[in-house]
Amino acid sequence: MEIKLKNYNISNDNKFFLIGGPCVIEDEKMIMETAEKLKKITEELDIFFVFKSSYDKANRSSIKSFRGPGINKGLKILEKVKNQLDLPILTDVHSPQQAKIASDVVDIIQIPAFLSRQTDLVVEAAKTGKIVNIKKGQFLAPWDMEKVLNKALASGTKNVILTERGACFGYNNLISDMTALEVMKNFGYPVVFDATHSVQKPGGLGDRTGGNREFVYPLAKSALSIGISGLFMEIHPEPKKAKSDGPNMVRLDDVKEMLNNLKKLDNLIKEEKI
């Protein structure tokens, strides 16, 4: 299955594409500057790039945690990125009502992992006609995602991406089972590996989430070695100062070298098919 987005075909057999950007919209200036730098890097490396950020993080550890600017202001900022930088946009939605509102701006609607079994949300996202990226819940086995996929397909779309982001492993920990990528590939739709959320330690810092960003690169290499359509990475200019998911986000200055090496690996794996 191939999904057309602008001039690129998203496919497990095509060279990998990148979904990347800050976890949450902190302010317009940071978003615009980060998007511009990521566009420059990916253009130099010839990697198809989709910018992502969230207007609201609805599942923060603490009620005191920063959530974002909200849907109206957030979508205006994402629309500015789309129009001024000519970039496709991904953002997540948290209710069926938000799906239609977000579809007026974004190219890919993302279903968060915690909400992956919410039928009404998946159905309404599918009905928008936009590409739908469904993150596998940390609580689901990979074969359970076929039922989630079928909810979207039954709602009138074939433009579905499935994203792996690790599975619960005891308390405050996730583990990445690479066989999950192969299982979901067998459904016939593009599969993405979320390399940054997979190294989270949910609630690991008490009132906020911890993580181990040093494992992002090795896990991304492992995922690409299986042959998948893309990588998801949250990227921030200064992760230690980030208002959400700082411990697992990649530092913007480290992205170019990382992507260059990952591209070499991806080409090697797919050289007979590209």
Encode pLDDT of 69-106 as tens digits.
999 999 999 999 999 999 999 999 999 999 999 999 99
Count Cβ atoms below 10 Å from residue 85 Cβ, excluding itself.
Answer: 16
Count Cβ atoms below 10 Å from residue 200 Cβ, excluding itself.
Answer: 23
Q: Average pLDDT of 220-226?
A: 97
Domain encompassing residue 207: 3-270
Q: How many domains does the chain have?
A: 1
Q: Average pLDDT of 162-182?
A: 92
pLDDT at 152: 97
Q: Average pLDDT of 27-49?
A: 98
pTM value? Answer: 0.94
Characterize 212-235 residue by residue with b for buried, 16 or more Cβ atoms within 10 angstroms of its Cβ, and e for exposed: ebeebbebbeebbebbbbbbbbbb
Model confidence pLDDT, tens digit, residues 181-220: 999 999 999 999 999 999 877 654 555 566 677 999 999 9
What mean pLDDT value characterizes the chain?
A: 93
Q: Which of the listed ranges 228-237, 244-253, 263-272 does the model predict with the highest average pLDDT?
A: 228-237
Short-list 100, 102, 139, 98, CA closest to 117: 139
The CATH number of the domain holding residue 165 is 3.20.20.70
pLDDT at 227: 96
pLDDT at 105: 97
DSSP conformation letters of 223-246? HHTT--SEEEEEEES-GGG-SSSG
pLDDT at 81: 98
Q: Average pLDDT of 116-123?
A: 97
CA 18 to chain centre: 9
